[in-house]
Structure 1
C-alpha cells in the first residue's frame, strides 16, 4: 500500500475523464465523488478501469451531460428503475448513481431507496475499504472523505463493515460472500467482530440467487490462493450451505490403526498447486476457471465410494467415476453453466486417475495413446491437474510420480508430433462393417469396431486397410458371423 495525500490523489486523478465529469457536475451545481473500489485500488496500486461516481443529486443527469460532452465516442445506458447510468468511453466504464440511503425487508435483498447525502451513501457501503470517496468538484478536487478510517484498514489489511456487521449482512446477505472474496483477493484478514457476524448470519444466504452466489465463488476461484477463501467459507458456515459435497470431504476415519488423509484439505492443496502451475505457464482465458473447478471437484466422489478392506485398508475405488456423475447436479444447483464447460469439468474429473495409474507403472506407448484418445484436446489440462494432485508427504514416492509424469508428457509430445490423433480411428468404419456382414446397428458391430480400435491403439497392426481387414475377418469368424 502507498500513503496518499489529497494532493497525491489530485495528481492521480488528473485525467481528462475526471475533469470532464467535474466540469459537468459543477455546471449543474452538484457535488460528485469517485468512490469505492477505484479509490481503494489507488492506495493498493492495483489497475482499475471501472469507475463508480456518486452524485449528491441525479447521477443520471451528470451521466447524460457527460455523454453529450463526449459525443459519439461514448455510449450511455440509463437504468431509471435503479436511478443509475453508465457511460462507456474507450476502455473505461463509468457508473453514476445518486447518493442514497437504503432500508431492507427481512425476506429480500432489494432495498427501499431514498435520496440521501454523501454520508448516507457511505453508511450503506459494504466495507470500510470500499467507503472511501474522493471529491471531483473543481474547488475540492482530490479531497479524500474517509469517515470510517478505511485507509487505515487498507494499511492493516483488514476487512470490516462501516456500521453494525449484523445489520450489514442481514440486509444484504450477498455481502457475506463479498467479504470473503475481498479478503481472498487482497490477502486481507476479516476483523473478528465482522467474522462472528458472518457466522451468525450464514443462514441468510438462502435468500440470495444461485447466479449471484456462483459469481462470487468464481471470483474466489480466480484468486491467487483460493484455499484461503474456501477455508473462511467453511469456518463461518457458508460452505456447508453452498457446497455440502465439499464439506463432506472433511472426515478422517481410523480403523485398526489405519487412517486415510483428509480429502478436504488435500483438495484445497491441489487447487492451490494448480493455480501456481497456471500462473507459471502463462495460461489465461475462460478455461482457466473451469480447470480450477475440476481441481476443486476432482475427489468429490470419495465419501460415496469409501470402503474398508481388511488387507489394504481404506479404498476409494471408482471415486473418479462417482464424482463425474455428481458434477451435473452440483452445476445445476449452483446455477453454473450446463454446457461444454460442465462437460469439460466432468471429463477431467472422470479421467484424473488415468495419468496417475500410468505413472505408477511402466509408461507404455499403448497406455499413453489410449489416454490421448480419451482426453482429446484437453490432454495438457488433464496432465496439469494430475501433477497438481501429487501431494504425498513421502518425498521419494512424490519424486517418482513427478519423474514418471515427465516421461508421460514426453511421450504425449512425441505422439502429437507424429500426429497419432489422426490415426487413432481405424480406417474401416461401422458402416462398412455392417455392409460386409449384412448387419444392422447391433452389439456385434460395436464389438468389431472396438476390436479394430484396440488393435490400432495397442499398435498390434498398422492403421491400414489390408491388415485391418484381415483382423476383422478373423474376429468375425470367432464370433460366428462368417463361416470358418
Structure 2
C-alpha cells in the first residue's frame, strides 16, 4: 500500500531495529493515514520492555520525555522540527488489558507478538499496524475493509472484547460521532446486553469519552447511539428520560428530538478562534444537551389538554449540577453549564415586551461571562416551525444585543458596583459591620442596575432615604 509516513517514525524504527526490537505504528495514526487525515501524535507498540527501550526514546526525543504511563508499559518522547512543529510519540510494549470483575482499573499483561497485541484492541479499524522502518502493513482482522465500509467491528468476539475492557462500549459511540461510522450488529447487540458492565469503569474515564464525543463533528449521532445502546441509562440517564411519551394529540414536542436539534443549532452558532465562543465549545454543547432535562420531572397535564413544564429551568439546573459532578467534570464547567440551564428561558419575556434599560443591565449582569453563550443557547432553543414567530424572536434578540452594545459604550457592565461601597455605607449610616450593611449594599446595587450610573450625591441621598424608610 502507498503510505506517506513521518520520517521521525522511520528513524525511530531504525533505532529499535538496531537493538533487535520490533516497532510498529498502530491504532489511530494508521487509521488516519488511510483516511488521509493528519495525526498530531504517533502511537507505537514494540516487542521491547520499557526498561529496554527507554534509552532509545530518550536519545530520540531530545526535546522531551515522559513516563507517566510506565506502569502500563508506555513511555513518551517529543522533538521539535526545524519549522517549530512538535512530533510526539508514545511507545507501548505488546500487551493485553483486562479488568478484574471488581476493579475499576485495567490490569496490564505484556504480550509477545504484534498480531496478538492487535487482537486485543478495541475495533478492527484500530487494529491495523505499519511496521517500521520497512513499512510492512499488518491488517489481520480486515480493518481496512471495515474502514472503507464505515463499520465498527471488534477483532475478537464482541462480548469478550467488551468484557476485557468495558470502556470500549463508550468508545464505540464516541467513534460514531468522530468518524461517522455505524456499529456492527453483533457489537451493538453485545453492548445492549452488557451495558451494566460499564459501571465498573471510573467516572473520569467515562467523562473523557463523553467529552471527546461532544467535541466531535457529529455529537448528535454519538448521543443517539448512546441512548439506543442503553449505555445512557447508566452513565447519563437524564438524556434518555427526555424521550417522553408524547400524548395522543401531540400537544408537545418530543423533548429528546428537540434537544438534538438545539445541540446542532448551537454548534452552528459557535465562532472562529477569535470569536467570543470558539468552536468546539464544551460548555455551550453541554448546556444545549442539558437545557431541558428538568422537563420530565415538571411535566403537568393542564385543563384543556395543555402540557406545562413550570420551573423546568431551575429544576434542570439542579439536575445538571448533580450529574456533571457525578461525572467528575471540572468545578467551573459544572457551575457554568448549570447556570446556562438556569437562565435559558430568561430572554423570552423580552419578546412579549421589550425590557427597560435596567432589565437589560440585569440580564447582562446575571449572565456575566456566560453572556455570549447564553444568547447562543437561547437562539438555538427557538426551534418553532412558525416562520413569523421565528422572525419575531430573532429580531427581538438582535435588538437586545444592539442595546447591550450601546449601553456598554457608556458603562462597563463587567464592573457594575453600587455608587457607594461597604465602607462608605457604614460611615454614612453610622453602622458597625453586620447584616444591615449587606442589605444596604444589595439595595444600592439594585438601584445602580435600575438607574445606571448616577452622581455620588444622588446615590447618597437614595441610601439615606432607603435607610430612613426601613427604620421607620
Question: Above 0.5 in TM-score?
Answer: yes
Q: Does 2:381 correspond to 1:389?
A: yes
SS in 1 for 2:92: strand
**Per-residue CA distance 1:253-292 (angstroms, 9 max, x = gap):** 538x463222222122211211121156765769921222
What is the match of residue 466 of structure 2?
475
Task: Report how many residues are paired.
Answer: 465
Distance 2:327 2:6 in 1: 43
Deviation at 1:441, TM superposition (A): 5.5
Deviation at 1:312, TM superposition (A): 8.3
Quick one: which of 92, 95, 108 aligns to 2:90?
95
CA contact (8 A) 1:60 1:96 kept: no
Distance 1:47 1:150 in 2: 19
**Per-residue CA distance 1:386-427 (angstroms, 9 max, x = gap):** 111111122221121111111111112222222241674221
What is the match of residue 151 of structure 2?
158
Q: Does 2:193 correspond to 1:203?
A: no
Mapping of residues 21-420 of structure 1, within 5 Å: 21-58=12-49, 60-70=51-61, 72-77=62-67, 79-90=69-80, 91-101=86-96, 105-108=100-103, 110-111=106-107, 113-137=109-133, 141-254=134-247, 257=249, 259-278=251-270, 283=275, 288-310=281-303, 313-338=306-331, 340-420=332-412
Deviation at 1:98, TM superposition (A): 2.1
Distance 1:376 1:201 in 2: 44
Distance 2:414 2:96 in 1: 64
Specify whether residues 197 and 396 from structure 1 end up closer, same or farther in structure 2 by C-alpha distance, changes over 3 A only.
same
Quick one: which of 404, 416, 433 aligns to 2:425?
433
CA contact (8 A) 2:26 2:130 kept: yes
Deviation at 1:37, TM superposition (A): 0.4
CA contact (8 A) 2:227 2:239 kept: no
Distance 2:6 2:366 in 1: 56
SS in 1 for 2:172: helix
SS in 2 for 1:472: helix
CA contact (8 A) 2:32 2:39 kept: yes
Distance 2:146 2:162 in 1: 19
**Per-residue CA distance 1:135-171 (angstroms, 9 max, x = gap):** 113xxx2221111111111111111111111111111
Mapping of residues 1-20 of structure 1, within 5 Å: 5=1, 8-9=2-3, 12-13=4-5, 15=7, 17-20=8-11
Deviation at 1:78, TM superposition (A): 7.0
What is the match of residue 83 of structure 2?
none
Over aligned residue pairs, what C-alpha RMSD do you find? 2.5
CA contact (8 A) 1:60 1:78 kept: no
**Per-residue CA distance 1:111-158 (angstroms, 9 max, x = gap):** 451432111111111101101111113xxx222111111111111111
Distance 1:369 1:399 in 2: 24
CA contact (8 A) 2:152 2:182 kept: yes
TM-score of the superposed pair, with normalisation by structure 1: 0.88
Specify whether residues 350 and 67 from structure 1 end up closer, same or farther in structure 2 by C-alpha distance, changes over 3 A only.
same
Distance 1:260 1:311 in 2: 13
Distance 1:259 1:440 in 2: 58
CA contact (8 A) 2:239 2:256 kept: yes
CA contact (8 A) 2:50 2:70 kept: no
Deviation at 1:65, TM superposition (A): 1.5
Q: Gapped runs of 5+ residues in structure 1?
A: none
Distance 1:458 1:76 in 2: 56
